[in-house]
Amino acid sequence: MLTEKEILEYENIDELINFLENQMTGGALTSDDVKWGLSLAGAFATWTAKKYREAQKYPNELHQPMWVDGKIKIASFSGPSTNLIQRLKDGDKPISYTDEVSKLHDIMYQRASASKTRDEMRDLKSKADDIMLKFLEKGKEKKLDNKINIGIARLGISGRKKIQKYSPSGIFNWLDSKYTGDLETLSEDDTKIINDEYKKTIDSLNDQVGNAQEEIHGVQEVQGDQDIIGGSLENMKRKMSPLTFRGSNPRL
């Protein structure tokens, strides 16, 4: 039987599972079997956590595992703490529809962070959450991705919105500060990357959901000039409205 140390030395999960299956034999369970089973469960959990951390491209990222083409892969964008600008510079591509929706969400958050005030940023980030949920729902309807991938991503956003809505004021203030983040000013080069990827991602998602005509009026282009900060509601004629679609069902 494998020891906990031997389990942690496995590099490939398929090899580990195959070995464990071969170790399972019939007959009555003994106390040693039970002890080994408990030790195995703890070691497997430790192994999974270790490999999950190692699979992240950058420190502090916690991107979700996704079921893609019959295999488990780590998302490029879906999950907390995405190193967005560096990943865009690296040319990282989404691994699924859900991951691409998450990429848009990350970009909208980055653009919102260039707001003039925290209130503006809070408003734009909330609207970015709504847009993500709408795209995920449309992707589920059209079966553009595995429902588990969509469900996990949706749970993260909708769960956070509910916590913010129903938590006591003291807790809310703390959560709101964590959720909103800090105002930022991007360099001219980073501004161009964000704006270019924003347009490309919007066009790609709209094509996938059936020529959806999005109306995201609340997020202006992020500007490199500190005197012209994207996301500001100050110069807008109207705020961002929900996604609008052509056809018999014009609004999600």
**Residues 220-246, mean pLDDT to the nearest whole number:** 40
Instruction: Tell me: pLDDT of 187 over 60.
Output: yes
Diameter of the chain measured on Cα atoms: 75
> Which of 86-95, 109-118, 175-184 shows the highest mean pLDDT?
86-95
Six token digits for residue 143: 């079966």
Q: For residues 34-49, give the mean pLDDT.
A: 64
Termini Cα distance of the chain: 55
CA atoms within 13 A on the CB side of 206: 16
Q: Hey, what are 116's tokens?
A: 């003039």
Distance CA 201, CA 77 (A): 13
Q: Are 214 and 108 in contact (CB under 8 A)?
A: no
Tell me what pLDDT residue 76 has: 96
Which residues lie across from 72 on neighbouring strands? 67
Is residue 127 within 8 Å of residue 119, measured between CB atoms?
no
Q: At what angle do helices 118-141 and 169-180 cross, to 10 degrees?
A: 80
Q: Is the pLDDT of residue 63 over 60?
A: yes
pLDDT score of 145 more than 80: yes
Domain map of the chain by residue range?
4-22+31-55, 65-208
Structure-derived torsion over alpha carbons of residues 164, 59, 94, 10, reported in degrees to the nearest 10: -110
User: Does pLDDT of 247 surpass 50?
Assistant: no
Among candidates 37, 40, 65, 38, which has minimal Cα distance to 51? Answer: 65
Give the whole-angstrom CA distance, residue 129 versus residue 120.
Answer: 14
**Lowest-confidence segment of 142-156, 172-186, 238-252 by average pLDDT:** 238-252
CA 121 to the chain's CA centroid: 19
Residue 13 tokens, joined: 């999960």
In the predicted structure, residue 88 carries a pLDDT above the cut 90: yes
Answer whether residue 112 shows pLDDT above 70: yes
Residue 250 tokens read as 């014009």
